[in-house]
A and B are shown apart, each in its own frame.
Chain A
Amino acid sequence: MSIFEIFVLAFTAIIAENFVLSQFLGCCPFLGVSKKVETANGMGMAVTFVMALASLFTYFGQQLLVKINAEYLQTILFILIIAALVQFVEMFLQKMVPALYESLGIYLPLITTNCAVLGVAILNVQKESGLFESVLYGAFSGVGFWLAIVLLAGVRERIDTNDCPACYKGFPLTLTAAALIALAFSGLSGIKL
């Protein structure tokens, strides 16, 4: 891959076809863990890491399935690989970065059920991309998720104390903020480099 192709891939995955803001992948943590910029940052980092690793391992998993002619086991194998990876990341963070581990709390094991991770693995298979391209796409999509969640957390920190109708407090207000961010990003969708 040339540098230009890598740049195109990065631009597409992070901005033009952002996983959260234009494909609805990974909405649960996007809405759930975006109360504070600091936690959102940690979550984004962890998800990016898991997505890149998941792209790497599911690539080999897919090769194995093709070899033994059992592609129908794709979903089951992929989710097992991702669950194992998340467990590994959890143990690693607990040992090395306990502060981040504490602040992510319950949301760390929930990365397993983040559809962005399984989504990127399946998309890689659908696009028939090679090993290097798969890992890059996984990492860049993760960065896209990271950007989106930090942006939303920034907005939420500011509107937290604002006045709004009582029934709109909490999730509805967050979703409206997300809609405005997505609206800004949709101006860039459809750009083909």
Chain B
Amino acid sequence: MSKLLNGLKRGIITENPILVLVLGMCPTLATTSSMATAVGMGVAATIVLICSNIFVSLLRKIIPDKVRIAAYIVVIATFVTIVEMALHAFVPSLYDALGLFLPLIVVNCIILGRAEAYASKNNVLDSAIDGLSMGIGFTFSLLIVATIRELLGGGTLFAGSWFGIESEGITVFSKPALMMSLVPGGFLTLGFVLGMAQFLRTRSAKKKEEKEADSQ
């Protein structure tokens, strides 16, 4: 249990894949124009991340060192194909909304990065926990960016199709700035969110230093 909590803390705060490590920019920018697609992307990537972490960890003593990256990519591509087919069959609306970015989960640096940096060195349970917490951290950051973009770009919150269930959402205002849900808004919002994360990080580091200086 404490392992899980530690993992979650790492995934969401100290080693958040997007806000701290700045990996996986493409899906972060492309699927965050609405909260529904952001969560869909987050969940799909989390499933792939957990499965690939488990498999890479199981195979870590069999895969030769020289071809490990290629082997990891094949493992990841297999799970992406499975998730893609499952979504196509059961949640076609999400499949259409994610479009090209669903097969492109294969080249999401976060998944390959975790396979290389964590799953290839740790046991199966730890790797599964790491996959889950990194996935939650990824989904959480997507959701932050998507909330800002949907609010400013569409004037709504929670609108769209959530895993096949249509939702009207809350209309906050009626004349939104469409640019925020297009490409420039994506870059701008992510820049702002990363800037805020950096600000909070330096502030908490400074506070810690002051506390240590006080206690001496």
Contact = CB atoms under 8 A, between A and B. Distances in A.
A159 to B, nearest CB: 13
B106 A24 contact: no
Contact of A115 (B77, B104, B183): B104
Contact of A186 (B104, B107, B182): B182
A180 to B, nearest CB: 7
A89 B189 CA distance: 36
B184 A115 contact: no
A167 B196 contact: yes
Interface in B71-92: 73-74, 77-78, 80-81, 84-85
A56 to B, nearest CB: 19
24 contacts: A21-B183, A23-B183, A24-B26, A24-B29, A25-B26, A25-B100, A27-B29, A28-B25, A74-B103, A75-B77, A75-B80, A75-B81, A79-B74, A80-B73, A109-B69, A112-B73, A115-B26, A115-B104, A119-B100, A168-B195, A171-B194, A178-B191, A179-B185, A182-B184
Interface residues of B, number: 42
A167 B188 contact: no
A123 interface: yes
Interface residues of A, number: 47
A9 interface: no
Chain B interface mostly helix, strand, loop or mixed?
helix
B30 interface: yes
Given A76-B78, A172-B198, A179 B188 contact: yes
B187 A75 contact: no
A178 B187 contact: yes
Given A25-B30, A75-B77, A112-B107, 13 more contacts: A22-B183, A24-B29, A28-B23, A75-B84, A75-B103, A75-B106, A76-B77, A80-B70, A115-B104, A118-B107, A122-B104, A182-B187, A185-B183
B183 to A, nearest CB: 5
A115 B179 contact: no
B198 A175 contact: no
B112 interface: yes
A187 B87 CA distance: 35
A100 interface: no
Interface string A91-135: 000000000000000000110111100110011001000000000
Contact of B191 (A126, A166, A172): A172
A80 B75 CA distance: 11
